[in-house]
Structure 1
Amino acid sequence: MLWRRHTVYRDRAGGVVIRGEHVQRWISLAPSGRRDEILLRAGRILDGGTTAPARSETLVPLGAGSGELATACRRLLAATAADAAPPAPAAPGRTQRPGKPQRPERKGRRMSLVSWMVLACVVGVVALYAYSTARTGTR
């Protein structure tokens, strides 16, 4: 079963990596640099197949049985899955920025006071130009 649903390979450091594309997780077993221990690391597989850095890791004694090793692997993968759980969805079309309260949603577009002032100035300039052109044209 492991060989059918998972990809197993050696990494550059000499450890063994097991990738589960169907669960978007990876786990590696590598020498820890200490005597009689191995380093277990787990992480996510990102879109496109690249691996994200390890989210959790632990040391397991080499003398531990396969049951203890399997328990440590399950615990790391569960912690990785919990860390990668997506946040609760927000209301459609709205994003919440931390620390900033949202304004109530408006029903339609409204012009601000500044927009009205700019519009009034433009109308005034056009009217002044039309008036001065009409006045100089009659002389």
Structure 2
Amino acid sequence: MQTPLRQTAGELAAVLWREHTVYRERGGGVVIRGEHVRRWISLAPTGGRDQALVRAGRILDGGTTAPARLEAVVDLTSGTTELAAVCRRLLAETAADAAPSAAASTPPRRSRTRSARERGTRRTRRVRTGRHTSLGSGVVLLCVGGMVALWAYGVFCGAY
């Protein structure tokens, strides 16, 4: 399955992109990287005969690959043009997922009416100035210091 998958990936890469890199994955699959379009396609063997799992994803800044956004199982006997059509669809959906929409990039508008919580008294946040230890922490420190002083007195002065 490895050799036909590698050959199919080479033919597919030539159809999809003029500039591409094809390499083998650890799991026996083949990856096609299109650096100029910042996308990748992976063909991996499945349990079925003459079938492959096609995954598509993005290439991030610095050359690392993002996890696969979409995947589909395709029949390898159908031909390179049908396989290329499936890959183009996956790549187009990956590009659409990666592009932020105009509505998502603008902050939501606030309504002119104030909510009941805003009309009521607002809580002000207490700002600490200077001292970081509270009175309770000081009392605990004094108690611990007193216990250490009693222990030292018992050890050094109590044994005569």
Q: TM-score range by the shorter chain?
A: 0.5 to 0.7
Report what 1:102 is aligned to: 110
Is residue 2:57 matched to residue 1:47?
Answer: no
* CA-atom RMSD in angstroms: 2.6
Alpha-carbon spacing, 1:46–1:36, altered in 2? closer, same or farther (3 Å) = same
Identify if the C-alpha distance between structure 1 residues 68 and 114 changes in structure 2 by more than 3 Å, giving closer, same or farther: closer
- 1:18 aligns to 2:26 (yes or no): no
Q: Rate the CA distance shift 1:9–1:114 in 2: closer, same or farther, 3 A.
A: closer
Alignment of 1:108-123 (within 5 A): none
- Higher share in helix: 2
Question: How big is the shift at 1:33?
Answer: 2.1
Closer, same or farther in 2 for the Cα pair 1:16/1:102, shift >3 Å? same
Over 3 Å counting, the alpha-carbon distance change for 1:4 and 1:70 in structure 2 is closer
TM-score by length of 2: 0.54
Aligned residues: 99
CA displacement 1:86-126 (0-9 Å, x = unmatched): 23243xxxx44xxxx5378xxxxxxxx999xxxxxxxxxxx
TM-score normalised to the size of structure 1? 0.61
The ranges of structure 1 where at least 4 consecutive aligned residues each deviate by more than 4 angstroms after the TM superposition are 1-4
1:61 is the counterpart of 2:69: no
Q: Percent identity?
A: 66
Q: Which runs of 5+ in 2 are unaligned?
A: 1-12, 113-121, 125-160
Task: Quote the offset at 1:62 in angstroms.
Answer: 2.2
Please say if residues 41 and 54 of structure 2, whose CA atoms lie closer than 8 Å, have aligned partners that are also in contact: yes
Which segments of 5 or more consecutive residues in structure 1 lack a partner in the other structure?
105-112, 116-139
Corresponding residue for 1:86?
100
Is residue 36 of structure 1 aligned with residue 44 of structure 2? no
Over 3 Å counting, the alpha-carbon distance change for 1:103 and 1:37 in structure 2 is same
Matched residue SS, 2:78: coil
CA distance in 2, matches of 1:114, 1:73: 55
Corresponding residue SS for 2:77:
coil
